[in-house]
Amino acid sequence: MEADGQRGGILYRWVFFGFSVLLACAEQCSAQIKYSVPEEVKVGSVVGNVARDLGLDISSLKDRRARVVSGNQDAQFEVNENNGVLYVRKNIDREEICESISPCLINLKIVAEKPMEIHYVAVEIMDVNDNSPSFQDGEKTLEIFESTPAG
């Protein structure tokens, strides 16, 4: 009988641990909405209308102080409190942000107060071929004999 109680306690701990891990990674694991924007897009460009896409009342955004919350002091995006539009705040260089990681995702938290709501938004930075390849030799001559097997 005592062994069943210990097993139940261990099971409870594992369930609690799993649930805690799930909550901790909720921000990283999922986003409510996802947008795509090409790198090097002009500052002020519209990414999407978060108020409409999240079902928020546009008339109350200013009173609720809707904003992007980021741990980074130099945030790339901002929400317009008057119309709910998410727009580019500063120049985005994909290679600088994500280096060789693909897809390049920036996870944002959109916060609105009174009542407090937190919405998760992912913005994928699309690569623009701004680094053309360069070759040392302009031309390369190859000789292939007729007797060479295919492949």
Residue 105 backbone dihedrals phi, psi, to 5 degrees: -115, 135
DSSP, collapsed to helix, strand or coil, labels residue 139 as coil
Edge-to-edge strand list for the sheet holding 77-79: 46-49, 85-88, 77-79
Mean pLDDT by 10 residues, the chain (151 residues): 60 66 51 88 93 89 87 79 92 84 88 90 84 75 85 70
- Could you tell me the pTM of the whole model? 0.64
- Hey, where are the domains in the chain? 1-30, 31-126
DSSP character at residue 66 = -
Q: What is the predicted pLDDT for the residue at 45?
A: 94
| Helix or strand (DSSP H, E) at 126 | strand 117-126
pLDDT tens, position by position, 5-27: 566 677 777 766 665 655 555 44
140: which strand partners?
Answer: none
DSSP character at residue 105 = E
8 Å CB contact between 51 and 66: yes
CATH number belonging to the domain at 31-126, selected among 2.60.40.60, 1.20.58.1910, 3.10.20.30, 2.30.40.10: 2.60.40.60
8 Å CB contact between 96 and 83: no
| Residue in 29, 88, 79 with CA at minimum distance from that of residue 54 | 79
Q: What is the predicted pLDDT for the residue at 120?
A: 92
Q: What is the predicted pLDDT for the residue at 4?
A: 57
8 Å CB contact between 118 and 56: no
Determine whether 47 is exposed, middle or buried from the number of CB atoms within 10 Å of its CB (0-12, 13-18, 19+).
Answer: buried
DSSP, collapsed to helix, strand or coil, labels residue 8 as helix
Separation between Cα atoms, residue 117 and residue 109, nearest integer Å: 10
